[in-house]
Structures are given as structure tokens and as C-alpha cells.
Amino acid sequence: MKLVERKNIDSEKWDAAVSASQTENIFMYSGYVEVVSPGWSALISGNYKTILPVPFTKKLKVRQFYQAQFTREYDVLGDDFTIKQACEYLSENFSSVHFRNGEKGILKGGKKRTHQLLNLQSDFTKNYSTNAKRILKKSSAYRAERSDNPEILITLFKVHVAHKIETLSKKRCGHSGATHEQTDLNQPGVNSFL
């Protein structure tokens, strides 16, 4: 395994490895990682047989491996090295390692996290709570439209979510400080996603 800088990562091979993985993780595609962590690196072995994205920050020459925002977790895809081996390697190259993963006890003080998976082939709606059924009924008054305009989603994020994330700077997301009440939600296309 070796640490490879972003400029030397072959995006096609990387994305092919993610796609071929038994646990395909959308947060690990090169385009996604690039957006949430520009300049990321990766641990790679063989010809992209085993991979792990390594988003990091560098402040005052101190490198820190961190969990990029808007990603649930990163896993090692492949079997040439384990997540524990990756963490040991990264601990030698980074002053701190902070990220989420399904394994317990990898990092000192780490906690095991469980994620829910839904089998969409079964009828799970019969187990909905009364409140969930009410919300679904209420939402049926709205319709979703497909749009290739990313500004619609970005506007919704800025208005409804960005201000709730302490670690997301206003400068980085371009948040103007507008709130739900100050924003005209009757703009064409905006209501179609509410």
C-alpha cells in the first residue's frame, strides 16, 4: 500500500474499483471525493486492487486525515490491506486521524456505528408509524421534477441546511445569511423539491 497524491490517481481506474466493489459506496467515487475534499490523496495497492480515499487538511505544515463533510463513512475496498493496517500507516504520516468506519476499536476511543439498510423488495410500509404515514400523505400534494440545474438543490441546501452545520463556513458555501423566511420559495423549480 502506498499514499498517492490526487494528481497521480487515475480516476477511471479508481471509479472502476468502487463500482466493482461488493459494497459500492457512492461517497468514494473520485468526483464526489474531489468535491467534498479538494486535493485528497488515497491509499492504493496493486493496480487499484485495494483503495481507501484519504481526505486531509494541511495547516502550518501539520497534516490531518479527517472525515470529509457529507460523507457517511470510508471503507477499504479490496483485500490487500485492512482498515486497521491503513490507520496504522496513516498514523505515521498524519498528526491526527479522524474518520467514521463500521469497525470498532480501530482508533483509540472509537465507537462502532450501525447503519440501517432497507430491503426495498419487501413491504416495509406496513411498519410505518402514524406520524410517518401522515407526513407521506401530506407530501403527496407536492410533485418532484427532474432537473439538470444544480442551482435548485444548492439553493435549498443553503436556505435549509447550511446554517445548521457549525463546521461549514459561510464563505465556503457562499451562504448569504438568508433564511427560509427571507427566501422566495416560489421561484420556478424550487417548490418541486419541497
Out of 43-52, 107-116, 158-167, least confident range: 107-116
Q: Which structural domain range is residue 145 located in? A: 140-193
Residue 59 within a domain: yes
What integer best gives the mean pLDDT of the chain? 76
Q: How far is residue 55's CA from residue 41's CA, in Å, rounded to a whole number?
A: 6
Residue 88 within a domain: yes
Single-letter amino acid, residue 63: R
Q: Which residues does 99 contact at the CB level (< 8 Å), separation at least 6?
A: 65, 66, 67, 73, 74
How do residues 10-59 score in pLDDT, each as one tens digit?
999 999 999 998 877 888 899 988 988 888 889 999 899 999 898 887 77
Residue 52 within a domain: yes
Residue 119 within a domain: no
Residue 132 within a domain: no
pLDDT of residue 111: 55
Judge if 84 and 162 occupy the same domain: no
Judge if 10 and 85 occupy the same domain: yes
Beta-strand relationship, 2-5 and 56-59: unpaired
Q: How far is residue 51's CA from residue 42's CA, in Å, rounded to a whole number?
A: 7
Judge if 15 and 86 occupy the same domain: yes
pLDDT of residue 49: 93
Residue 63 within a domain: yes
For range 175-186, the mean pLDDT: 43
Q: How far is residue 113's CA from residue 80's CA, in Å, rounded to a whole number?
A: 24
Confidence band (pLDDT; 50, 70, 90) for 109? low
Distances in Å between the Cα of 99 and the Cα atoms of 23, 73, 126, 173 are 18, 7, 36, 22
Match 494541511 to its residue by C-alpha cell.
58
Residue 66 within a domain: yes
User: How many domains would you assign to the chain?
Assistant: 2
pLDDT of residue 64: 72
Residue 114 within a domain: no
Q: Confirm whether pTM is higher than 0.75.
A: no
Q: How far is residue 89's CA from residue 51's CA, in Å, rounded to a whole number?
A: 13
Distances in Å between the Cα of 166 and the Cα atoms of 70, 161, 177, 178, 179 are 13, 11, 14, 16, 16
112 pLDDT more than 70: no
